[in-house]
């Protein structure tokens, strides 16, 4: 069933209004008609079933008839600090990370990032494209929230603006720590006492520099190895997210 996100301001007396690009998509691409049923998420918080009541230009009215109380979001607020990879890999990473339930993605320009988004115009175009991918992935994976994709930031700037309780860095040269060694992962499982928010860091294709690792450690970040094989940047982040979600009770954990 098709899913749409609407702002609270577009709902009155159980009638939600779908406008703009979504209205066009509903009518021209999905070819939906009055009487069809769709899912409507209001204010990235409440999910309803609704029946298309009227279609007028770019402003379709949907009568909400059933509130659905389904817990779709993870208890763990994850920010993925993704070392900016080459070309379209970022689009793949965003799509999969959204499906896995991240709350935010920060594209990080590391020393070894080969992609250089030179002008702010380049960055703005990329951020808009990436945010659209996150929006579509949120619809497809039936999320309540639409993760925020920030503008690309330099490594040091990202490090100076941390907001999560803990930082975990995927680091292939870490010799002693694995995920199970992280002090905030509750061994006896019930109740899961993970932290509420976590930053997960993955390097670009060329990896982190030693200086970058040292600087994250200065901020008390934990470096963990994800086993003995070298994972591609687009694999490492998704594996790390999935394992942390599982440990927090999400993804069936």
Residue 182 touching ligand SAM (CB under 6 A): no
- Give me 157's structure tokens: 């700037």
130 binds ligand SAM (CB under 6 A): no
Cβ closer to ligand SAM: 24 or 111? Answer: 111
Backbone angles phi, psi at 29, to 5 degrees: -95, -50
In terms of CB distance, is 27 or 205 closer to ligand SAM? 205
Stretch touching ligand SAM by CB under 6 A, among 18-26, 51-59, 99-107, 201-209: 201-209
Q: Which of 166, 236, 241, 244 binds ligand SAM (CB under 6 A)?
A: 236
Please name every residue paired with 6 in a beta bridge, in sequence order, or none if there are none. 42
Q: Give the shortest CB-70-to-ligand SAM separation in angstroms.
A: 33
Least separation, in Å, of the C-beta of 217 and ligand SAM? 14
Q: Does 170 bind ligand SAM (CB under 6 A)?
A: yes
- Span from 8-16, 64-72, 165-173, 182-190 in contact with ligand SAM (CB under 6 A): 165-173
- HEC string of the chain equals CCEEEECHHHEECCEEEEEHHHHHHHHHHCCCCCCCEEEEEECCCEEEEEEEEEEECCEEEEEEEEEECCCCCCCCEEEEEEECCCCCHHHHHHHHHHHCCCCEEEEEECCCCCCCCCCHHHHHHHHHHHHHHHHHHHHHCCCCCCCEECCCEEHHHHHCCCCCCEEEEECCCCCCCCHHHCCCCCCCCCCCCCCCEEEEEECCCCCCCHHHHHHHHHCCCEEECCCCCCCCHHHHHHHHHHHHHHHCCCCCC
> Nearer Cβ to ligand SAM, position 118 or 229?
229
Using CB under 6 A, count the residues that bind ligand SAM: 18
* Residue 52 binds to ligand SAM (criterion: CB under 6 A): no
Q: Name which of residues 214 to 233 contact ligand SAM (CB under 6 A).
A: 225-227, 229-233
Nearest approach in angstroms of CB 84 to ligand SAM is 12
CB of 24 to ligand SAM, least distance (A): 39
Q: Which residues contact 191 (CB under 8 A, 6 or more apart)?
A: none
Say if residues 224 and 179 touch (Cβ distance below 8 Å): yes
**Residue nearest ligand SAM (C-beta atom):** 203
Select the span of 29-37, 93-101, 133-141, 164-172 touching ligand SAM (CB under 6 A): 164-172
**Beta carbon nearer to ligand SAM, 7 or 173:** 173
Applying CB under 6 A, which residues contact ligand SAM?
170-172, 202-203, 205-208, 225-227, 229-233, 236
């Amino acid at each position: 069933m098709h899913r749409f996100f609407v702002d609270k301001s577009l709902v009155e007396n159980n009638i939600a209004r779908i406008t703009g690009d979504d209205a066009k998509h509903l009518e021209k691409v999905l070819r939906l008609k009055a009487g069809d049923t769709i899912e409507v998420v209001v204010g990235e918080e409440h999910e309803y079933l609704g029946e298309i009541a009227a279609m007028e230009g770019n402003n379709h009215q949907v009568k909400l008839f059933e509130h659905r109380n389904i817990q779709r979001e993870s208890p763990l607020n994850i920010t993925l600090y993704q070392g900016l990879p080459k070309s379209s890999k970022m689009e793949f990473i965003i799509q999969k990370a959204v499906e896995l339930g991240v709350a935010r993605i920060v594209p990080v320009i590391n020393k070894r990032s080969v992609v250089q988004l030179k002008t702010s115009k380049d960055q703005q175009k990329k951020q808009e494209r990436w945010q659209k991918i996150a929006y579509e992935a949120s619809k497809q994976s039936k999320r309540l929230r639409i993760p925020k994709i920030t503008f690309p930031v330099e490594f040091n700037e990202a490090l100076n603006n941390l907001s999560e309780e803990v930082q975990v860095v995927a680091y292939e040269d870490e010799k002693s720590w694995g995920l199970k060694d992280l002090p905030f992962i509750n061994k006896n499982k019930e109740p899961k006492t993970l932290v509420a928010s976590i930053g997960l860091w993955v390097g670009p294709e060329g990896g982190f520099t030693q200086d970058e690792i040292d600087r994250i450690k200065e901020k008390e970040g934990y470096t963990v190895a994800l086993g003995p094989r070298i994972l591609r940047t687009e694999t490492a982040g998704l594996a790390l997210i999935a394992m942390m979600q599982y440990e927090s009770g999400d993804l069936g954990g």
